[in-house]
Structure 1
Amino acid sequence: MSTWQIIYRGFDPGDEGRREALCTLGNGYFATRGAAPESRADGVHYPGTYIAGCYNRLTSAVAGREVEHESLVNAPNWLLLTFRVGDGPWFDPARVELLDHEQEMDLDRGILVRRLRFRDGRGRTTRVVQRRVVHMAEPHLAGLETTLVAEDWSGPLTIRCGIDGTVTNSGVERYRELDGRHLADVRTAEIGPDVVVLHARTSQSRIRIAEAQRVRVLVDGEVPDATPVLVRRDGVIAHDITADVDRNAEVRVDKIVSLHTSRDFASTEPVAEAIEQVRDAADFDDLLRSHCLAWARLHTAFHFGLSTSEPAQQAVRLHLCHLLQTVSPHTADLDVGIPARGLHGEAYRGHVFWDELFVLPSLTLHLPQLTRALLRYRYRRLPRARKAARDNGFAGAMFPWQSGSNGREESQLVHLNPLSGRWLVDHTHLQRHIGIAIAHNTWHYHQATGDDEFHQDHGAEMILEITRFFASLADHDHSRDRYVIRGVVGPDEYHTAYPGSNRPGIDNNAYTNVMTAWLCRTAVQVLRELPAGRRGELVDALDIRHHEIDRWKRIAQRMFVPFHGDGIISQFEGYEQLAELDWAAYRRRYGDIQRLDRILEAEGDDPNRYQASKQADVLMLFHLLSAEELAELFTGLGYPMPSIPDNIDYYLERTSHGSTLSAVVHAWVLARSRRHRALEFFDEVLASDLHDTQHGTTSEGIHLAAMAGSIDLLQRCFAGIEVRGGVLRLNPLWPAELGPLELSIRFRGQPLTIRVTGRTATVRTAAGHTREPVTCACGSRTIQLGPGETARFSLEPGAAGTTTC
Structure 2
Amino acid sequence: MNPWVLAYEGFDPASEGLREALCTLGNGRFATRGATPDGRIRTPGTYQAGCYDRLASEVAGRTVVNEDLVNLPDWLPLTFATPGSDWFNPERADLLDYAQELDLRHGVLLRELRWRDEQGRVTRVRQRRLVSMADPALAALETTFTAENWSGPLRVRATLDGRVTNSGVARYRDLRGDHLTGHATGVQDALTWLTATTRSSRLTVALAARMDAPVPGSSSQELDRITTEHVLDVVEGTPVTLTKVVALLTSRDRAVHDPLSAALRRARLAAGFAELLDAHEAEWERLWERAGLDVDGPELSQIVHLHVFHLLQTLSPHTADLDAGVPARGLHGEAYRGHVFWDELFVLPWLNLRFPEISLGLLRYRWRRLPEARAAAREAGCEGAMFPWQSGSDGREETQTYHLNPDSGRWLPDVSHLQRHVGLAIAYNVWQYRLATGSMPPWCAELLLDIARFFASLAVLNPASGRYEIRGVMGPDEYHTAYPGAASPGLDNNAYTNVMTVWLLSRALELGEVGPEEAARWEDITRRMRVDFHDGVISQFTGYAELAELDWGRYKGVRRLDRALEADGDDVNRYQASKQADTLMLFYLLTADELLAILDRLGYPAEPGLIPRTITHYLDRTSHGSTLSAVVHAWVLARSDRARSWQFFAEALISDVHDVQGGTAAEGIHLGAMAGTLDMLQRCYLGLEPRPEGLHLNPLLPDRLGALSLPLLFRGLRLTIEADQESTRVNGIALPQGAGLTIIEEKMITIGGGGFGGRVGHHHDRLGPTVAPVTGFADNDPVLKVLEPEE
Normalising to structure 1: TM-score of the pair?
A: 0.93
What's 2:206 paired with? 210
Counterpart contact for 1:413–1:425, Cα < 8 Å: yes
Measure how far apart 1:764 and its partner are.
2.4
In the alignment, which of 340, 359, 368 is matched to residue 347 of structure 2?
359
In the alignment, which of 244, 259, 269 is matched to residue 258 of structure 2?
269
Measure how far apart 1:641 and its partner are.
2.5
Q: 3-state SS of the aligned residue for 2:491?
A: coil
What's 1:654 paired with? 621
In the alignment, which of 588, 598, 608 is matched to residue 573 of structure 2?
608
The answer as to 2:581 corresponding to 1:585 is no
Q: 3-state SS of the aligned residue for 2:130?
A: strand
In the alignment, which of 632, 640, 644 is matched to residue 597 of structure 2?
632
The answer as to 2:10 corresponding to 1:10 is yes
In the alignment, which of 534, 540, 548 is matched to residue 518 of structure 2?
548
Inter-CA distance 18–65: structure 2 relative to 1 (3 Å threshold): same
Counterpart contact for 2:483–2:490, Cα < 8 Å: yes
What's 1:348 paired with? 336
Q: How does 1:312-327 map to 2 (within 5 A)?
A: 312-327=300-315
CA shift digits 1:602-627 (9 cap, x unpaired): 00000000000000001000000011
What's 1:496 paired with? 481
User: d(CA) in 2 for partners of 1:562 and 1:291?
Assistant: 54
Q: How does 1:21-100 map to 2 (within 5 A)?
A: 21-39=21-39, 42=40, 44-100=41-97
What's 1:131 paired with? 128
Measure how far apart 1:245 and its partner are.
2.1
Counterpart contact for 1:35–1:45, Cα < 8 Å: yes
The answer as to 2:784 corresponding to 1:804 is yes
What's 2:731 paired with? 764
Measure how far apart 1:777 and its partner are.
5.2
What's 1:199 paired with? 195
In the alignment, which of 694, 709, 712 is matched to residue 727 of structure 1?
694
Task: Indicate the structure with greater helix content.
Answer: 1
User: d(CA) in 1 for partners of 2:70 and 2:762?
Assistant: 49
What's 1:334 paired with? 322
User: d(CA) in 1 for partners of 2:188 and 2:421?
Assistant: 52
User: d(CA) in 1 for partners of 2:781 and 2:85?
Assistant: 75
Measure how far apart 1:248 and its partner are.
2.2
User: d(CA) in 1 for partners of 2:487 and 2:101?
Assistant: 53
User: d(CA) in 2 for partners of 1:484 and 1:761?
Assistant: 45
Counterpart contact for 1:60–1:179, Cα < 8 Å: yes
Q: 3-state SS of the aligned residue for 2:202?
A: coil
Counterpart contact for 2:195–2:204, Cα < 8 Å: yes
User: d(CA) in 2 for partners of 1:180 and 1:725?
Assistant: 48
Gaps of 5+ in 2: 734-744, 786-791
Inter-CA distance 777–450: structure 2 relative to 1 (3 Å threshold): farther
Q: How does 1:156-235 map to 2 (within 5 A)?
A: 156-193=153-190, 195-217=191-213, 223-224=214-215, 227-235=216-224
What's 1:538 paired with? none
Counterpart contact for 1:417–1:598, Cα < 8 Å: yes
Q: 3-state SS of the aligned residue for 2:400?
A: coil
Q: 3-state SS of the aligned residue for 2:587?
A: helix
Equivalent position amino acid for 1:184 in 2: T
Counterpart contact for 2:185–2:223, Cα < 8 Å: no
In the alignment, which of 135, 148, 153 is matched to residue 151 of structure 1?
148
Equivalent position amino acid for 1:603 in 2: D
Counterpart contact for 2:165–2:179, Cα < 8 Å: yes
Equivalent position amino acid for 1:76 in 2: P
Counterpart contact for 1:32–1:49, Cα < 8 Å: yes
What's 1:256 paired with? 245
Measure how far apart 1:800 and its partner are.
9.0
User: d(CA) in 2 for partners of 1:26 and 1:799?
Assistant: 52
The answer as to 2:466 corresponding to 1:466 is no
Q: 3-state SS of the aligned residue for 2:181?
A: strand
User: d(CA) in 1 for partners of 2:759 and 2:492?
Assistant: 43
User: d(CA) in 2 for partners of 1:262 and 1:690?
Assistant: 35
What's 1:560 paired with? 530
CA shift digits 1:624-679 (9 cap, x unpaired): 00111112211111111352111111111000000000000000000001001000
User: d(CA) in 1 for partners of 2:474 and 2:125?
Assistant: 53
Equivalent position amino acid for 1:520 in 2: L
Q: 3-state SS of the aligned residue for 2:257?
A: coil
Counterpart contact for 1:744–1:753, Cα < 8 Å: yes
In the alignment, which of 507, 510, 519 is matched to residue 495 of structure 2?
510
User: d(CA) in 2 for partners of 1:440 and 1:618?
Assistant: 16
Counterpart contact for 2:53–2:70, Cα < 8 Å: yes
Counterpart contact for 2:18–2:666, Cα < 8 Å: yes
Gaps of 5+ in 1: 218-222, 528-534, 536-543
User: d(CA) in 2 for partners of 1:545 and 1:38?
Assistant: 64
Equivalent position amino acid for 2:25 in 1: L
Measure how far apart 1:759 and its partner are.
6.8
Inter-CA distance 673–526: structure 2 relative to 1 (3 Å threshold): same
User: d(CA) in 2 for partners of 1:765 and 1:60?
Assistant: 60
**Greater than 3 Å deviation, 4+ residue runs:** 774-787, 789-794, 797-803
Q: 3-state SS of the aligned residue for 2:243?
A: strand
Q: 3-state SS of the aligned residue for 2:91?
A: helix
**Mean Cα displacement is larger for which, 197-206 or 341-350?**
197-206
Percentage of identical aligned residues: 54
In the alignment, which of 647, 663, 674 is matched to residue 680 of structure 1?
647
Measure how far apart 1:762 and its partner are.
2.4
Q: 3-state SS of the aligned residue for 1:93?
A: coil
User: d(CA) in 1 for partners of 2:457 and 2:573?
Assistant: 27
Counterpart contact for 1:760–1:793, Cα < 8 Å: no
Q: 3-state SS of the aligned residue for 2:150?
A: coil
User: d(CA) in 1 for partners of 2:438 and 2:732?
Assistant: 17
Q: 3-state SS of the aligned residue for 1:729?
A: strand
Counterpart contact for 2:505–2:522, Cα < 8 Å: yes
User: d(CA) in 1 for partners of 2:641 and 2:106?
Assistant: 37
Measure how far apart 1:243 and its partner are.
2.5
The answer as to 2:452 corresponding to 1:441 is no
User: d(CA) in 1 for partners of 2:228 and 2:298?
Assistant: 44
What's 1:703 paired with? 670
What's 2:742 paired with? none
Counterpart contact for 2:761–2:784, Cα < 8 Å: no
Q: How does 1:300-315 map to 2 (within 5 A)?
A: 300-307=289-296, 309-315=297-303
**RMSD after superposition:** 2.0
What's 2:740 paired with? none
Measure how far apart 1:785 and its partner are.
3.9
User: d(CA) in 2 for partners of 1:784 and 1:65?
Assistant: 68
Q: 3-state SS of the aligned residue for 1:53?
A: coil
Normalising to structure 2: TM-score of the pair?
A: 0.94
Counterpart contact for 2:38–2:90, Cα < 8 Å: no
CA shift digits 1:670-705 (9 cap, x unpaired): 000100100001100111001000110000000000
User: d(CA) in 1 for partners of 2:181 and 2:93?
Assistant: 36
Counterpart contact for 1:752–1:765, Cα < 8 Å: no
CA shift digits 1:278-309 (9 cap, x unpaired): 111110001100100000000001121212x2
User: d(CA) in 1 for partners of 2:175 and 2:779?
Assistant: 63
User: d(CA) in 2 for partners of 1:793 and 1:550?
Assistant: 52
User: d(CA) in 1 for partners of 2:292 and 2:116?
Assistant: 44
Inter-CA distance 507–775: structure 2 relative to 1 (3 Å threshold): same
Equivalent position amino acid for 1:71 in 2: D
Equivalent position amino acid for 1:358 in 2: F
CA shift digits 1:131-184 (9 cap, x unpaired): 000000110011100011111122211111121011000000000011000111
In the alignment, which of 428, 445, 459 is matched to residue 416 of structure 2?
428
User: d(CA) in 1 for partners of 2:758 and 2:533?
Assistant: 36
